[in-house]
Structure formats: structure tokens, C-alpha cells
Amino acid sequence: MKKQKAIKKQKPIEKPKTMKKQNIVLISSVLLVIVFALGAYFYKTQQSTKLSFMARENASTFVRDYSLTLGSDDAKVYIVEFFDPACETCRDFHPFVKNLMAANQGKIKLVHRYAPFHPGSDYFVKILEAARKQGKYWETLEAMFNSQHIWASHHNPQPELIWQFLPEAGLNIEQIRNDMNDPEIAKHIEQDLADANTLNVRQTPEFFVNGKPLPNFGYDYLKELVETEIKANY
């Protein structure tokens, strides 16, 4: 009788212990995930406060005087886009941004900044800047994006392959070959990359709408942010 009791007693003692250990693991997991989520939340809030402060105090980090813009000067909503001509997602976003501008005629100004993160893609930025001198920036960008799958397939930009597609933008090719080596262009690319670094741009495209970063990456988030800014400013 006594023995039986002892065995019975032992079992319930052991069980709660293993239960307790499993609970320690589970509770720690939950705690770790909560800390992670809180950390992510605080980091994002702090980052966007920092950026909105910079947009007020240091607007030139977002728009340099040489920066290429599209849209009315009276527009109150600025979309600053850091992009790479060799980046596929930038190509996919391009028509979307143009539609956004068309839908809100005169209210949006687009600023293009360069973030040529793909190795060798600064070559294509130089072509774009040279085309800009001929007043054909947007046509050239269009031609580049349309043929991007050929000259930049598998994220491996091949400079020689672009030239066959440039005539469709109506460019003076000889002039481009001369102008693209202008040291001024190289300086601007350097400045854009430095600003991208200051603004923590690590992927392209990266958008800032009146200095505010996208809460999450995606078409809908961009659209939402632009619409909020339009409502707030008009």
C-alpha cells in the first residue's frame, strides 16, 4: 500500500516538471517574437521621424538642384524615386507611377534620383543623363525599360547591348557617346548615391512621398501614401 502510494506520488511530480520545461521554451519563444516585433515597430517609427525631420531641415538630400523632375512646379506632393535603370522592379513601377500622376493631374511632382546598385549600371545612368541634354530623357528611359530584359538579363547589365535600342528614342547617338563621359554626370551619380546612403536606401525602387518612406513595399502602399498626402495638402 505504501509502495503504491509512493509511485503514485512520484508520477504527478515528474509530469508538471516536464510540462514546466516545455512552457519555459514556449514562453521564451513568444517573448522573443514580441521583442522582435516591438523592436521592428520602434525602428520603423524612429526611422520615419528621422526622415520627416530631414525632409523639413535638409530638403536637398531628397531633391538636388540638378535632379530631374517631372510635373508641375505648383504640385504640393513630391514623389522622390531612387531607381536603377537595370532594376526590374523599377521598370514595373514606372508605368504605375505615371498612372498615379495622370490620375492626379498637376498635384504630383516626380523627382528621379539614381541608385545604380547593379554593378555596371552607372553606364546606363550616364546614357540617360546624356540623353537629357538632348531633351529626350523620358523617351530614352522608356526605350531602356522596354529592352531591359535583353541588355540586363539575369541582373547582369551588358553595356554593348543597349546601343541598338537607343535610336528608337530619337537620339543623336554620336552626341550621346561624347556627352556621357562628362565628369559632371559622374559627380551627380556620386552625390545621388551618397544621398541614398544617408536616407538608408538599400533596395530599388525606393520612394519618398513628401519625405515619408513607404510603410511597406508595394504598389498599394505607394498609392495610399500619395492619396493621404494629396488629401492633407489640397
Partner 1 sequence: MPHSDQTSNSNWTILFICWLIASISTLGSLFFSEIMKFAPCVLCWYQRICLFPLVLILSMGLFSFDKSVVRFALPLAIAGWFIALYHNLLYTGIIPESIQPCSKGVSCTEDYINLFGIFTIPMLSLISFSTIVVLLFMLKRRLSK
- Quick one: angle between helices 122-133 and 137-146, nearest 10? 140
Rounded to a whole number of angstroms, the minimum distance from the CB of residue 166 to partner 1 is 27
Residue identified by cell 512520484 is 10
Strands annotated E in the chain: 68-70, 77-83, 108-114, 206-209, 212-213
**Interaction between residue 25 and partner 1 (CB under 8 A):** yes
How is 182-207 classified by DSSP, letter by letter?
Answer: -HHHHHHHHHHHHHHHHTT--SSSEE
19 belongs to the binding site for partner 1 (CB under 8 A): no
Count of residues in contact with partner 1, rule CB under 8 A? 19
Alpha carbon distance 183, 160 (integer Å)? 21
Instruction: Tell me the CA distances in angstroms from 17 to 21, 23, 166, one per residue in order.
Output: 6, 10, 74
- The one-letter code for the residue type at 221 is Y
Determine if 50 is a binding residue for partner 1 (CB under 8 A). no
Residue 8 or 231 having the CB closest to partner 1: 8
Q: Applying CB under 8 A, does 158 fall inside the site for partner 1? A: no
C-beta closer to partner 1: residue 44 or 56: 44
Structural contact between residues 61 and 101, judged by C-beta atoms closer than 8 angstroms = no
40 is an interface residue for partner 1 by CB under 8 A: yes
Pick from 18, 135, 160, 234 the residue near partner 1 by CB under 8 A. 18
Residue (44 or 149) nearer to partner 1, CB: 44
Q: CB of residue 61 vs partner 1: minimum separation in angstroms?
A: 18
Q: What cell numbers appear for 150 in the block?
A: 535583353
Least distance in Å: CB of 202 to partner 1? 4
Draw the binding track, 79-118, toward partner 1 (x: CB under 8 A; -: no contact). Answer: ----------------------------------------
The residues in 165-204 that bind partner 1, with binding defined as CB under 8 A, are: 200, 202-203
